[in-house]
Structure 1
Amino acid sequence: MLNEALAALAAAGGTALVSAMTTDAWTSAKQGFARLLGRGQPERQGVAVQRLERSRQELAGRTGAELERARAEQETAWRLRLSDLLEDEPAAEAELRALVATFGTSASASGQRSIAIGGDNSGIASTGDNATNVQMRAEALGSGRIYQAGRDQTIHER
């Protein structure tokens, strides 16, 4: 079982990855996450590329609420995969943090709202589509404050 900081990192990784799927940063994100998931093994990396592309295809052609549901499903799936990776390969933490730092901002560039999630000193950045989604993520991640980027008010505090 992962500690709260690593669980938050896996959630932020899933969000960053899925957000990048619909941006110009996709090719770089796909390469980075495939490298992370492949852990230096070309066969595993190839399988990861195929999974990543299938996930992206799940979002293609969808709009509105249908797109948001598909995003949420993909974020959950990737959060679980990344959680498993962190549990099995603790050394992957630094690389995932770097990917979140790089691609966690791609959602902001595409017009989505960004939030910061922190229950300890981890300072994980993630993205949210609306206040309800943000609140649900906060509750799933444990204690901490959630702030809407560019505002000084607390959206949710546990």
Structure 2
Amino acid sequence: MVSEALAALAAAGGTALVSAMTTDAWMAAKQGFARLLGRGEPEQQQAVEQRLERARQDLAGKSDAALERARAEQAAAWRLRLSDLLEDDPAAEADLRALVAALGVPGSSSSGEVRQQVLGFDHAQQAVQGHGAQNVSFGGEGNRRDEQRDG
């Protein structure tokens, strides 16, 4: 059983790999993961490359919900393979970290700007949940309740 940190690394690796399958980074990702999972043995590396290509083809032609479902299934499958690798060969951690860093971890940045406007009065509270850079400002248009009373 791998540690929680290594399990998170395996999950990040699976996600990065599957995300790269539909980008220009695919060839570099395929070669890097094949080298890592093939453990330096040419025959194993070639078998992994073929498996990776089949996984990529599984995503081709799918869209919307079917694509997201296939991506999730692929990411889970590769997470398990990477977790097994880390359990069998702890020295592979550095190589996997380097691959994930080179590809970037999908989901670590927003897909776009999200705006939330909240009006609250008296004892209102606001909770902001998310990731990445968040800017919260209070005020702006003034206290609307006071404006309504004055009008």
Residue pairs, 1:4-153, within 5 angstroms: 4-105=4-105, 107=106, 113-114=107-108, 147-151=130-134
1:89 to 1:147, Cα distance in 2 relative to 1, 3 A: farther
CA contact (8 A) 1:15 1:104 kept: no
Look at both structures and tell me which one has the larger radius of gyration over its CA atoms.
2
Count of residue pairs the alignment pairs up: 119
Return the structure number with greater strand share. Answer: 1
| Structure 1: runs of 5+ lacking an equivalent | 108-112, 116-126, 129-145, 154-158
TM-score (norm 2): 0.73
Task: Give the unaligned 5+ runs of structure 2.
Answer: 112-128, 137-151
Which has the bigger relative contact order, CA under 8 A and spacing at least 6? 2
Please tell me the root mean square deviation across aligned C-alpha atoms, in Å.
2.1
Q: Secondary structure at the match of 2:108?
A: strand
What stretches of structure 1 move > 4 A for 4+ residues in a row?
Answer: none
Corresponding letter in the other structure for 2:25? A
Shift of 1:148: 2.0
Structure 1 length-normalised TM: 0.70
Determine the C-alpha separation between the residues in 2 that align with 1:85 and 1:55: 18
